[in-house]
Structure 1
Amino acid sequence: MGTVSGNFLIGTSGYNYPHWRGRFYPTGLPSKDRITHYADHFNSVELNVTFYRLRLAKTFEAWRERTPTGFSFSLKGSRFITHLKRLQDAADALGTFLERAAMLGEKLSIVLWQLPPGLHADSAKLQDFLETLRSHPIGNRIRHAFEFRHKSWFEDETYALLSQYRCALCIADAPRWPKVRETTAEYVYVRFHGSERLYGSCYSPKELEEWGGQIALWLTRGLDVYCYFNNDAEGYAISNAQDLRGIVSRKTVRNIRNSGS
């Protein structure tokens, strides 16, 4: 393996799960301290709660204050913007979302925009939204990834637009969506939903080994790589993320620390 210059950010999709008590979190750990415990084990987390509703300012402040320097947050963009507004006339809502997100400070790294399965490819609509992101002072300085849920988006025209605006195509590993590993930015965003059963299947050592090799290649190319496991119906996300981190560390001959790369 050549010289590795990209950063590897790995974690799970969400962290505040009651069924992790006793498996990952100590039984008596207060819920407010879960993010601190989590950050002792992973260097990044994808927050899905921001998709459903905008959290209070004090919640963002707590996330920032209870995690160490070097920890990275990925926020899932508001469904009001993606599913209700469907990316149109979203400037005001986007501004509200980004201004609250900015309370994470330098720990805010990237926003994931997950589009609804009923939204078919529309390059003009996507470009208008990308322009809105670029024109916002916060949106312009952070990274963005797009997870498409309709197969019509997986075309060269989409990839070219994302490349033009330096945004990542979210590589979603799941049985129901296209297996595409297109890179469109200087960073890669991967979501592991479960290769056999959506949200509920455990990745095998063979699967993780293959993914580890791919990630190592991206890192060698100088690409930053964000990886989040969303296969938590049976609690597999934690162990799969830990195992993949170990594989990538071995393949890149370096120690991937909990709060950095």
Structure 2
Amino acid sequence: MAEIFVGTCSWTDRALVTSGWYPRGQRDAEGRLRYYAERFGVVEADSPYYALPSPRTARLWAERTPGGFRFDVKAFSLLTGHPTRPAALPADLRAAFTRGRATDPGLLDEVWARYAEAVEPLRRAGRLGTVLFQYPPSLAPGPRSEAVVSASRERARGWPFAVEFRHPGWWQGDREHATAALLTDLDATAVAVDTAQGLPTSMPPVTPATTSRLAVVRFHGRSPHWGTGSKEDRFRHVYTERELTPWLPRIRALADRTDRVHVLFNNCCADAAVTAADTMRRLLGGTVPHQVSRRVDFRGCPAS
């Protein structure tokens, strides 16, 4: 059975930092990461989605974490077709990007090259779990969209590559098997997700294993505002054991078919994600470091 690593989709989220989860004296950039890495074995680095990272940043992440620790790094927004602010690009590239579009055909090539350069220190250090390509709801299933994903995989040849679709049609009905086959052919990890059900944008909780190396499950919370509203509205949720328990056989089934499983919580409300990660690890039978529980109420989030 594979190793199952549980963690969260950020260690720098403002809601987590202001919740008080990090102790005094360990609230600077280095202290936060070291403290987190003492308690969890994997984390998602989401900041590269919002702005191109630098190789120096990735080197520091590797230096501040133990050898078995892994980062799942989110792809830059421009690489997955999301709206991108010019300010998210390095200053020397902004002239080729106006009104949210690349006006220079060479811009995308340069962005890919710089992103790869930035991620490389993690790979050299053995800290790179996967690169996560999260595609927007506008990427509906079909031949053109399949070509988009295939082109991204070709550019990312040699990297571990994971795909999360946000259009539910990719995993509904007969389409599920075609999507799994596509990702298997591309040697891409299919990302399973947990979201609120019964909404037009709800994602089916399917768990295909499309590579033997890695499976990824991301828990986004059960907010009724999934797919709408602000980030806080979409991801505000406190998981209960009753909600997590049905996932245990699914995660263990993935562990039977892969070498490693990453289980990540994205319910960014105060310390809700780290609390849920601790609960899931305990339910899976993993070691839970001693922590003092706290009750925090952040922006209307129920205290956990």
Q: Normalization by structure 2: what TM-score?
A: 0.72
The reply on whether 1:249 has 2:266 as its aligned counterpart is: no
* C-alpha contact 2:139 2:145 (8 A) present in aligned 1: no
| Residues 129-155 of structure 1 deviation map (CA, whole Å, 9 limit, x = unaligned) | 435534x5xx33332111111123222
Give the match's secondary structure for 1:16.
Answer: coil
| Residues 42-91 of structure 1 deviation map (CA, whole Å, 9 limit, x = unaligned) | 001101111011122221111111111111000010111112599x9855
Aligned equivalent of 1:74: 72
Aligned equivalent of 2:112: 94
Distance 1:185 1:131 in 2: 18
The reply on whether 1:23 has 2:20 as its aligned counterpart is: yes
| Residues 197-255 of structure 1 deviation map (CA, whole Å, 9 limit, x = unaligned) | 431111111222222232122223344211110001243100110111111126xxxx5
Give the match's secondary structure for 2:246.
Answer: helix
Aligned equivalent of 1:110: 130
Q: CA RMSD in A?
A: 2.6
Give the match's secondary structure for 2:267.
Answer: coil
Identity of aligned residues (%): 27
Aligned equivalent of 1:151: 168
Aligned equivalent of 1:184: 210
Residue identity matched to 1:167: A
Give the match's secondary structure for 1:117.
Answer: coil
Q: CA deviation at 1:113?
A: 0.5
Give the match's secondary structure for 1:141.
Answer: coil
CA gap 1:45/1:85 in 2 versus in 1, 3 angstroms: same
Moved more, 121-130 or 192-201: 121-130
Distance 2:28 2:257 in 1: 39
Q: Normalization by structure 1: what TM-score?
A: 0.83
Aligned equivalent of 2:231: none
Give the match's secondary structure for 1:215.
Answer: helix
- Based on CA coordinates, which of the two structures has the bigger radius of gyration? 2
Distance 2:240 2:26 in 1: 30
* C-alpha contact 2:5 2:261 (8 A) present in aligned 1: yes
Aligned equivalent of 2:95: none
Q: 5+ residue gaps in structure 1? A: none
1:163 pairs, out of 171, 176, 184, with 184
Higher RCO (C-alpha 8 Å, min separation 6): 1
Q: CA deviation at 1:117?
A: 1.3
Q: 5+ residue gaps in structure 2? A: 85-101, 197-201, 225-233, 290-304
| Residues 142-197 of structure 1 deviation map (CA, whole Å, 9 limit, x = unaligned) | 32111111123222322211011221221121122223222222221111000244
| Residues 103-140 of structure 1 deviation map (CA, whole Å, 9 limit, x = unaligned) | 11211120111111112223354346435534x5xx33
* Count of residues in Structure 1 that have an aligned counterpart in Structure 2: 245
